[in-house]
């Protein structure tokens, strides 16, 4: 188990959605979270005259993932001032600097920027605006240990201000299914398969290219039941063409959607054409059983009794 800890959040203007100063006992750092519109009136704070690292946060896409920009500076005020004038996407920011007794310098801040970008790319729960990937600066063994400890403190604070894209998603379900099981699955009425509509680009890039599918809404009662996912390719294909076993289901974004990760690449089936199914039948996810899916001649066979 992780060690328990206490976080103190000070709200100077009494608005919990406004400026927040975050610290904790025995930490040399200070976190500052604020909405973009507050920047002109808070930028004169002495905290922003220090070296530090910052994250600009925007909600500009429709896939539930935040868009972020990670930066650092000797004087973070100057960098954020520039972004306030020249970057329109962000609506809030999180800044991390040393407290009055700390000693965070430019090299430390550069390493923190590097580590945060690496982590964001690895976890892939955000859209990263950074165009240039920084190189890790040279730090002594002692400096690296101290800076890694500073990073751990930051990562504990970020979810408390609503930014979870640096957290490795934890699986909410771990299906035990394989596409080529020796025995045919029993014919059951309880759904074990979700069919998702996929446009050509998303199908090729994600369903086939990444062995995953994301931004799906799944009712809580279905999370532990889904073992397979099938792709309905929209026009001009208009047919269910592939199926894959699901290895795990994990949260995706911050609006209650999920990502399904396959245990092996999707395999062709059918195709199962739209046929005479009702208009709009495949505009969203549908649940069925793998047995019914593999025996269907058209999508009408899967939706006729709905």
Give the 3-state DSSP-derived string for 118-164, with helices as H, strands as E and coil as C: HHHHHHCCCEECCCCCCCCCCCCHHHHHHHHHHHHHHHHHHHHHCCC
**Where is average pLDDT lowest: 172-181, 252-261, 275-284?**
172-181
Distance (Å, whole) CA 206 – CA 211: 6
| Mean pLDDT value across residues 150-164 | 91
Alpha helices (runs of H) in 175-299, residue ranges in sequence order: 200-202, 290-295
Confidence of residue 170 (pLDDT cuts 50, 70, 90): confident
Confidence of residue 188 (pLDDT cuts 50, 70, 90): low
Distance (Å, whole) CA 231 – CA 268: 10
| Mean pLDDT value across residues 212-232 | 90
| Mean pLDDT value across residues 126-137 | 88
pLDDT exceeds 70 at position 179: no
pLDDT exceeds 70 at position 181: no
Confidence of residue 185 (pLDDT cuts 50, 70, 90): low
Helix (H) or strand (E) holding 52: strand 52-58
Other Cβ atoms less than 10 A from the Cβ of 261: the count is 18
Q: Angle 141-157/106-123 helices, nearest 10 degrees?
A: 50
pLDDT exceeds 90 at position 254: no
Q: Tell me whether residue 156 is exposed, middle or buried, using C-beta atoms within 10 angstroms of its C-beta: 0 to 12, 13 to 18, 19 or more.
A: middle
């Amino acid at each position: 188990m992780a060690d328990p800890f206490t976080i103190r959040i000070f709200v100077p203007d009494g608005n919990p959605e406004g400026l927040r100063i975050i610290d904790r006992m025995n930490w040399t750092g200070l976190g500052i979270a604020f909405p973009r519109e507050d920047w002109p009136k808070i930028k004169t704070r002495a905290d922003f005259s220090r070296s530090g690292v910052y994250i600009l946060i925007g909600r500009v896409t429709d896939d539930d993932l935040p868009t972020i920009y990670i930066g650092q500076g000797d004087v973070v005020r100057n960098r954020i001032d520039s972004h306030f004038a020249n970057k329109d996407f962000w609506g809030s920011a999180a800044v991390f600097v040393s407290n009055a007794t700390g000693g965070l310098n430019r090299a430390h801040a550069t390493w923190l920027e590097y580590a945060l970008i690496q982590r964001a790319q690895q976890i892939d729960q955000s859209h990263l605006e950074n165009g240039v990937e920084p190189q890790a600066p040279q730090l002594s063994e002692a400096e690296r240990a101290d800076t890694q400890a500073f990073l751990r403190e930051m990562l504990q604070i970020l979810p408390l201000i609503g930014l979870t894209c640096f957290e490795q998603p934890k699986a909410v379900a771990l299906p035990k299914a394989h596409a080529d099981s020796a025995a045919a699955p029993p014919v059951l009425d309880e759904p074990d398969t979700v069919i998702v509509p996929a446009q050509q680009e998303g199908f090729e890039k994600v369903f086939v290219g990444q062995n995953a599918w994301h931004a799906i809404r799944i009712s809580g009662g279905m999370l532990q039941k889904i073992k397979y996912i099938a792709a309905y390719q929209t026009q001009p294909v208009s047919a269910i063409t592939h199926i894959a076993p699901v290895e795990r289901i994990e949260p995706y974004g911050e609006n209650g959607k999920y990502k399904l990760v396959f245990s092996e690449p999707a395999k062709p089936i059918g195709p199962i054409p739209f046929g005479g199914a009702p208009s709009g039948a495949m505009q969203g996810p549908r649940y069925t059983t793998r047995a019914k899916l593999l025996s269907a001649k058209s999508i009408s066979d899967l939706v006729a009794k709905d």
